[in-house]
Amino acid sequence: MVFIYKNGIIERIPKDERFLLIKPWSAGFWGDMHDVQSKLLLAEITNRHPIVFWGEDSLYSVGENYNSFEQYFFRVSDYSIGDVVSDKYTYYPPTWKFFNIFQREPTKGYSNGQFLYREFINFINCDTNVLVSDFWHPLSQYMPWIKEDHPAYGLSEDDVYRYIHKKYIKLQPDIVDEIEEFYHIHMATGPILAVHIRSGIKINEVPHLCELNAQYSQEIDSYLKDNPSSRIFLLTDDEEILEQYKQMYGDILIYTDCERKTVNDIELCIKSFPNRRRKGIDIIKDTYLACKCDHFIGNGHSQVSIAISRLKLWENERIKLLM
């Protein structure tokens, strides 16, 4: 039970009326998912019921007032956004009210180099009924608040991610079936090296991306020298990179049939793909298939590669993130 001072008297917020509503950060699929995992830890630390709602401000939104998170995953608790729409509830940050909770985020405001009311310590100490997460905080900020009796106490950051993911993140059955079907048809016999290469469009985020991408062929050839019977599972959203690697590695190259772009498709990159649910499934499918492989080479600046490194407990010699 949490006690708050309100209207001149001390009131109590019942445990069943303390929620954490996790809205999208809108920074790419695994960027949003890493924020979800961070906030699920926050929910456990602060004894709140978590609700994930990817509304119209999500890059993967398929309709107004529709929870696009549940296109891919089951609910993370027994509650939904409808349970936190009440004029009797208090909300934080104060820009959120019961009547705008479905909408795109209100203006956060900006002062002294920070968004107002979004400091992570305020999220720890908040005593409102509904805490609304509309801003990214790294999981590492919440880890010092894990108590000794918590299952994640003393774990590494990657292990905490795996704990949260295993506990809360459950794929929808049709996506599981699609992943398993592809794996059994194309990947059931190993060994297989998974390789994730970012599109050249991302050069604005990683200025040395071209130099980094040039390292892959040397890393792959070195791996194949020691593992001559191995095949390569390529993850990339760049059509030109796929064509280049098909020419280099021929029949040993495995890849999913997903919609890709070229470095000139800036408009498509910004506006996302026409079928937003399909775009998310393609990302999930490649990520989970990579985790079924024996070795992995990825980009240490990419949320996709970071997700692959965290979802599976890799032996050190079986994974390499290029920086």
Token couple for 272: 């996302």
CATH 3.40.50.11350 segments of the chain: 173-322
12 pLDDT above the threshold of 70: no
Residue 32: pLDDT band by 50, 70, 90 thresholds? very high
Pairwise CA distance, residues 165 & 267, whole Å: 33
What is the architecture of the domain spanning 173-322?
3-Layer(aba) Sandwich (3.40)
The Cβ of residue 211 has, within 10 Å, a number of other Cβ atoms equal to: 10
Residues 266 and 201: beta-carbon distance below 8 Å: yes
Q: State pLDDT tens for residues 66-123.
A: 899 999 999 999 999 999 999 999 999 998 999 999 887 666 555 555 577 888 899 9
Chain centroid offset of residue 310 CA: 11
Average pLDDT over every residue of 282-299: 98
* SS3 assignment for 86-150: CCCCCEECCCCCCCCCCCCCCCCCEECCEECCCCHHHHHHCCCCEEEECCCCCHHHHHHHCCCCC
Evaluate if residue 263 carries a pLDDT over 80. no
pLDDT tens digits for range 157-212: 999 999 999 999 999 999 999 999 999 999 999 899 999 999 866 666 788 888 99
What pLDDT, on the 0 to 100 scale, is given for residue 267?
A: 45
Q: What is the pLDDT of residue 200?
A: 67
According to CATH, what is the number of the domain 2-168? Answer: 3.40.50.11340
pLDDT over 70 at 268, yes or no: no
Which one has a higher pLDDT value, 170 or 12? 170
Q: CATH 3.40.50.11340 residue ranges in the chain? A: 2-168
Per-residue pLDDT band for 26 (boundaries 50, 70, 90) equals confident
Cβ atoms 58, 279 nearer than 8 A: no
Q: Buried b / exposed e across 26-60, counting CB within 10 Å, b at 16+?
A: bebbbbbbbbbbbbbbbbbbbebbbbbbbbebbbb
DSSP conformational letter for 238: B
Tens digit of each residue's pLDDT (9 = 90 or more) over 232-247: 999 999 999 999 999 9
pLDDT at 61: 86
Q: Are 134 and 106 in contact (CB under 8 A)?
A: no
pLDDT greater than 50 at residue 270: no
Name the nearest CA neighbour of 296 among 284, 283, 311.
311
- Decide: 105 and 57 in contact? Cβ < 8 Å: yes
